[in-house]
Amino acid sequence: MHKKVAVILSGCGVFDGAELHESVIALLRLDQRGAQVQCFAPNIAQLHVINHLTGEEMPETRNVLVESARIARGNIKDVREAKAEDFDALIVPGGFGAAKNLSDFAINGANCSVQPDVLALAQAFAAAGKPVGLICIAPALAARIYGEGVICTIGNDEGTAAALEQMGASHEECVVSEVVEDAQRKLVTTPAYMLAQSIGEAAAGINKLVDRVLELASHA
Region of 200 please: left (phi>0), alpha (psi -120 to 50) or beta: alpha
Q: How many CB atoms lie within 10 A of CB 100?
A: 23
Residues 27-53 as b/e (b if ≥16 CB within 10 A, e otherwise) read: bebbeebebebbbbbbbbebbbbbeee
Active site residue 136: yes
State the Cα–Cα distance between residues 1 and 218, nearest whole angstrom.
9
112, 136, 152, 174: which one is catalytic?
136
User: Please, which residues have CB within 8 angstroms of residue 45's CB and are 6 or more apart in sequence?
Assistant: 61, 62, 63, 64
Which amino acid is it at 42?
A: P
Positions marked catalytic: 136
